[in-house]
Amino acid sequence: MDVVTQMQRQLIQYTSSLFQEFNQLQQLQDESNPEFVVEVVTLFFEDAERLLNELSKSLQVEQESIDFRKVDAQVHQLKGSSSSIGAQRVQRVCIAFRNFCEQQNVEGCLKSLQEIKQEYSLVKTKLETLFKMEKQLFAARGSISR
């Protein structure tokens, strides 16, 4: 089996397992617009990182002055966008996080924030791996057709 075919096979396998986890992305995959998934996911990364920074700041203040309404609104946004791309684990932690906000439970909030950061980091690694594999495949195809 030549290198390109092998890479293609690996990419297909990786993509399909990833799409089982990120179950929203599959329906966006479109031959006529292959960049679309990359665009959306990149946007999600930017959005999530911004929100995680803001959440860290919101929770770093004196416990008595934490604005739980603001924290909740930020988590709501993150929950929404992670749900939209199918990052289910991040979404689940967001739900727990919102419950802690409602209870004004600072410890719970801080714990949730840690968990989200970990889950998000996993998501990012997996999706970046996908994009890297795609790039390598296209490069390999390109060098053969030359």
Partner 1 sequence: MGLAAESQFHVLAVDDSLIDRMLIERLLKTSSFHVTAVDSGSKALKFLGLVEEEQRNEEPSFVAQKTHNQDVDVNLIITDYCMPEMTGYDLLRKIKESKSLKDIPVVIMSSENVPSRINRCLEEGAEEFFLKPVQQSDVNKLRPHLLKSKVKEVGEEDQLINLNRKDINEILA
Positions that interact with partner 1 (CB under 8 A): 24, 27-28, 30, 33, 36, 39-40, 43-44, 47, 76-77, 79-81, 83-86
Nearer to partner 1, 7 or 100 (CB): 100
Nearer to partner 1, 47 or 115 (CB): 47
Nearer to partner 1, 84 or 105 (CB): 84
Q: Residue 119 contacts by C-beta under 8 Å, 6 or more apart in sequence?
A: 87, 89, 90, 93
Residue with the two structure tokens 């617009």:
33
Q: Cα–Cα distances in Å, from 59 out to 16, 82, 101, 113?
A: 38, 21, 11, 9
Residue with the two structure tokens 């495949």:
137
State in angstroms the smallest separation of the CB of 101 from partner 1.
Answer: 15
State in angstroms the smallest separation of the CB of 24 from partner 1.
Answer: 5
